[in-house]
Copies of this chain bind each other. A is one copy, B any other.
Amino acid sequence: MKASIITIGDEILIGQIVDTNSVSIARHLNSAGIVVRERLSIGDDRRQIIQAVEWALKNYEVTILTGGLGPTKDDITKKTLAELFQCDMRYDQQVAEHVEKMLTARGIEFNDLNRSQAMVPTACTVLFNAHGTAPGMWFERNGHVVVSLPGVPYEMEHLMQDKVMPMLKSHFSLRQIVHRTMITAGLPESMLAKRIEKWENALPPYLKLAYLPNPGAVRLRLSAYEVEGESVAREIDRQFEALRKIIPHNVIGFETASMQELVHGLLTKRHLTLATAESCTGGSIAARFTALPGASAYFRCGVVAYSNDAKVDILGVHADDIAQYGAVSEQVARQMAEGARRVAGADYAIATTGIAGPTGGTAEKPVGTVWIAVATPERTVAQVRQCGTDRGQVIDRASAFAISLLRDCLNGE
C-alpha cells in the first residue's frame, strides 16, 4: 500500500513555517504498514492542487492532504476538491451546529464566514472535527482514497488518530512495515561502515540499511516494507545481535529513542533524580527532558544561569573563579553542576557554559566553545566541546553532547 502526503500553504513554500504535519502523518501511516512514497508541499493554488492530487490518485492508493480549509478567501482546498471530484456543495447541519457551539463558547459571533465552513462537497464523507471548525473530508475514486484535513496541527492529529487511521485499516487490507534502529557511538560513519561491511553485504535483500549520523552518534536503521511483521522483526533482532558482536563497545541503545529518551528511561528505571544548570544552552536541556511524559518523576529543577550573578547567587559558583578563569571554563562548569545538584537535592546534575555566538568569541575561546559537566554522587566529570558556529547549532549540539555525557556517567563509563 503506497501513500503520498500533500501539504498546502504558501507559508510552507516561503519558509515561514516548518512542516511538522507531514512528520506526524508519515508516522501514523508507517505504523499501520502504509509506505509513504512522497511528501509534497504546494501553494494555495488551484492548478497546483488539481495537478498534485491527480498525480497522487494515479500513483498511490492513499493520499493525505492538509491545509487550505480556513474560512478566509486565501483557503481554496475545499472548493478545488469539489471541482476535481466533480460535485456540488451541501450545507452540513451537524458541522454548522458544532461550529456555532464552539464559537459561542468562546464569545465569538457565528457569521457567514463560519457558516461557510459547514459547506462540504457532496462527494465526500465528512470527518467530524471535534477540536476545530473545519471538518475533514474523505473522497474515493477507483478504490483510491484522498483525505483532506485542516492544517492546525492538533486538529489534524486528532482526525488522523480518531478517524482516518481506523477508516484506512478497515478500507484496505494492510501488510506491515518494520523499522528498527540501533544507536552506535564512538565510530565515525565511514569507519563504522568499513567495520561492518561484511555484515552489511550479507543482509537479506528485503532488509534495507540506512546510516543516520548525528552529533555524538551514528544510528543504523534496518527497514522492511510490506512484509509479514513478526518473522521479519525476529530476523532484524538476529541481525542486530550479530552486529553487536562485531562492535560490542559501540552499541548504546535501540529504537528511534533520542539521547534524552534513553537517559529518561535510565533515570526512571533506577529511581534517580536530575537537575540542570544551563548557561549557553539556555533551558534547552531542561526543555528536552520535560517534553517527555513522566519527566516529573525525576526532574527536580533546572537553573538557566545566564548572568554571572545567577551563577554565583543561585548555584554558588565562586565569583573569583569567574573572574580568574572566565564564565566559560572547566572550573565554572564543574561548580555549576555541583551547585545544581546541591540546590536541587538531586542525584545527578548537568551543566553547560559556552559561547553560543554570534558575538562573544575570542581567539582562545571561539564561538562554539562549550564546557559541559556532569556531577554524580561520586564525582564530577567535565569536557570541552567545539559545537559549531551557528547559534542554533551550538545550542543543539551542546545539549546533545551534555546529555550524552550524562548517559556515559549513568552507565559508569
Contact = CB atoms under 8 A, between A and B. Distances in A.
A36 B18 contact: no
A211 B44 CA distance: 12
Contacts of A27: 14-15
A16 B154 contact: no
Interface stretch (A233-241, A243-251, A278-286): A278-286
A300 B293 contact: no
Given A19-B19, A114-B190, A194-B113, A395 B291 contact: yes
A178 B111 CA distance: 32
A389 B304 CA distance: 27
Contacts of A23: 15, 17-19
Given A20-B18, A283-B285, A37 B26 contact: no
Contacts of A291: 282, 391-392, 395
A74 B209 contact: yes
A287 B121 CA distance: 44
Nearest to A20: B18
Contacts of A74: 208-211
The dominant DSSP class at the A interface is mixed
B289 A282 contact: yes
Interface in A267-308: 276, 278, 280-287, 289-291, 293, 295-296, 299-307
Nearest to A52: B38
B48 A37 contact: yes
Contact of A314 (B40, B109, B284, B314): B314
A300 B309 contact: yes
Contact of A10 (B223, B282, B300): B223
A71 interface: yes
A150 to B, nearest CB: 11
A19 B17 CA distance: 11
B36 A14 contact: yes
Given A114-B190, A193-B113, A343-B314, A300 B306 contact: yes
Interface in A164-194: 177, 179, 181, 188-191, 193-194
A26 B38 contact: no
A111 B194 contact: yes
Nearest to A303: B303
A362 B175 CA distance: 40
Contacts of A211: 70, 72, 74-75
Nearest to A45: B37
Contacts of A30: 14-15
B114 A16 contact: no
12 contacts: A14-B26, A40-B41, A103-B188, A106-B188, A111-B190, A114-B190, A276-B283, A282-B290, A291-B391, A301-B306, A313-B343, A314-B314
A-B pairs, top 10 by smallest CB distance, nearest first, are: A282-B290, A283-B286, A302-B304, A301-B310, A15-B26, A283-B283, A15-B27, A283-B287, A39-B41, A286-B304
Interface of A: 10-20, 22-27, 30, 36-44, 48, 70-75, 103, 106, 108-109, 111, 113-114, 152-154, 157, 177, 179, 181, 188-191, 193-194, 200, 208-213, 221, 223, 256, 276, 278, 280-287, 289-291, 293, 295-296, 299-307, 309-310, 313-314, 343-345, 356-360, 388-393, 395
Given A303-B314, A314-B314, 19 more contacts: A10-B208, A15-B27, A19-B39, A38-B40, A39-B41, A72-B190, A74-B208, A111-B191, A154-B388, A276-B304, A290-B306, A291-B395, A293-B391, A300-B306, A300-B307, A301-B304, A301-B306, A307-B344, A314-B343
